[in-house]
Amino acid sequence: MTRKNLPKNKSEEDTVVVLKQLNYSLTKLVKKNTPQYKFLLGIFSGLGTVFGLTVVLTFILYILTRLSFVPVLGDVATQIVRIVQSNLGN
């Protein structure tokens, strides 16, 4: 620490100690070779994939339902929407 950053009172010293302990704990947790890190990475990757796929499919289905005025595409879109809705109902 430089002279400017030195704590001025006891509560600031306690805060610095707590922050150093928290930094040490987080550094230990975030090491990339630990099983905990790999487990959390797997969970968040899976959740991100599911969330992203849900958003993309919702957008595609919304566009397909709006294309019902085009004769050929409208029939195909209607069939796809019916198939998806019947599968979600089961």
Confidence (pLDDT) at 71? 66
What's the pLDDT tens digit per position in 20-68? 888 777 777 666 777 877 888 889 999 999 999 999 988 888 887 776 6
DSSP string, 34-83: SHHHHHHHHHHHHHHHHHHHHHHHHHHHHHHHHGGGSHHHHHHHHHHHHH
- For the whole prediction, is pTM greater than 0.95? no
Determine the pLDDT at residue 54.
92
pLDDT at 6: 56
Say what the pLDDT of residue 51 is.
Answer: 93
